[in-house]
Structure 1
Amino acid sequence: MKIITETPRLIIREFNLDDAQAVYDFNEPVEVNRYTGDAGMCTSLADARNIITDIWLKEYAEHGFARWAVVYKETNQVIGFCGFKQETRFDGVDIGYRLHPDYWGKGIATEANQACIDYAKAHMPLDEVFGDVIPENLGSVNVLKKLGLTYLTNYYEDGLKVDRYRISLNDI
């Protein structure tokens, strides 16, 4: 289990198959995937294992990074994901997160992804990172802004407006 970085409250590490129950648990609440386009993709432990194996572990091997597990130190539980993915839709790197609702509104998404940005500046050959968000998802819009991403453009996908934000890792 490769640890990427830590914050006072969190351990950011690579996922492994032992995390399947946690992946299911943080994806299960309907409100978690309300704005993601991933609703219905993780409805069983088998789905969670497939996400870990077919997406994250594959991307770790292919790109050297993918979404990372967010472990809450106080409980040693995986409560969500954070970090980067190579986005083939626009040939860039996307930053994102997903947390169980019990951990919303506590600054964890900002804390976890700021740690990822700091890690990327020190250890990854990235010039810029993008963040896509449905404008109605005000919590995520605020997280992107707190991280220093600025509005770039918008596009429509599956009939929904998506705002794209960007941060240059060379300017900060």
Structure 2
Amino acid sequence: MKVITETPRLIIREFTLEDAPAVLHFNTPEQVNRYTGDAGVCTRLQDAENIIRDIWLVEYQQYGFGRWAVVLKDNNTVIGFCGFKNEIRINAIDIGYRLHPDYWGIGLATEANKACIEYANKHMNLDIVYADVADANSGSINVATKLGMTYHSQYQDGELTFNRYVMSFNNN
């Protein structure tokens, strides 16, 4: 398993199939998927295995990046994902995260994604990154702004209104 980066509290690494129970666990609470548009996609262990094998592992091979596991250093527990996705529907790179609600509100999403941005600045050739956040999701709006992202535009997707945030990278 490839470690991407570390923070004082977290290890950011690639997912493996052994992470399937954790992926199921952090996707199960209803409030986790309230604003994601993929509620009900991961309700069984087989769903979690499919996401890891058919999406994340494929993206690591195809692009060299994808959503990465967020692991607590204290107990080596996978509590969610963070990082980048080559988002085909917007033809651009998206930064995002998902954490189990037990770990909300203590700065871990910001910490994890700041580490991803620092990693990208050093090791990836990104020009611009987007984050789409439901306008009702004030917690994720706060994370996007703490990352230094700026409001770009707004769009409607089904019943949800999304704010698109943007960040430009300095490729030195």
Question: Is TM (by shorter chain) over 0.5?
Answer: yes
Check the 8 A contact 2:2/2:14 in 1, yes or no.
Answer: yes
Match of residue 120 from structure 2: 120
Cα distance in 2, alignment partners of residues 88 and 114 from structure 1: 23
What are the superposed Cα offsets for residues 15-55 of structure 1, whole Å, 9 maximum, x if unpaired? Answer: 00000000000000111000001100000000000000011
1:75 deviation in Å?
1.1
Whichever residue aligns with residue 91 of structure 2, its letter is: D
Check the 8 A contact 2:3/2:14 in 1, yes or no.
Answer: yes
Give the secondary-structure state (helix, strand or coil) at the position aligned to 1:65. Answer: coil
Cα distance in 2, alignment partners of residues 104 and 119 from structure 1: 23
Cα distance in 1, alignment partners of residues 90 and 102 from structure 2: 32
Cα distance in 1, alignment partners of residues 104 and 9 from structure 2: 14
- Count of residues in Structure 1 that have an aligned counterpart in Structure 2: 172
Match of residue 29 from structure 2: 29
How high is the sequence identity, in percent, across the aligned residues? 64
Residue 42 (str. 1) matches residue 42 (str. 2):
yes
1:74 deviation in Å?
0.7
What are the superposed Cα offsets for residues 42-89 of structure 1, whole Å, 9 maximum, x if unpaired? Answer: 000000000000110011111110000000001100000000000111
Check the 8 A contact 2:35/2:160 in 1, yes or no.
Answer: no
Residue 55 (str. 1) matches residue 47 (str. 2):
no
TM-score by structure 1 length?
0.98
Runs of 5+ in structure 1 lacking a partner? none
Cα distance in 2, alignment partners of residues 103 and 5 from structure 1: 19
Match of residue 70 from structure 1: 70
Aligned pairs for 1:122-137 within 5 A: 122-137=122-137
Whichever residue aligns with residue 164 of structure 2, its letter is: R
Cα distance in 2, alignment partners of residues 64 and 151 from structure 1: 27
Check the 8 A contact 1:128/1:170 in 2, yes or no.
Answer: no
Match of residue 79 from structure 1: 79
Give the secondary-structure state (helix, strand or coil) at the position aligned to 1:50. Answer: helix
Aligned pairs for 1:133-144 within 5 A: 133-144=133-144
Aligned pairs for 1:85-164 within 5 A: 85-164=85-164
Q: CA RMSD in A?
A: 1.1
Structure 1's consecutive aligned runs of 4 or more residues displaced over 4 angstroms after TM superposition are: none
1:171 deviation in Å?
8.3
Larger mean Cα displacement after TM superposition, 17-26 or 157-166:
157-166
Cα distance in 1, alignment partners of residues 159 and 78 from structure 2: 33
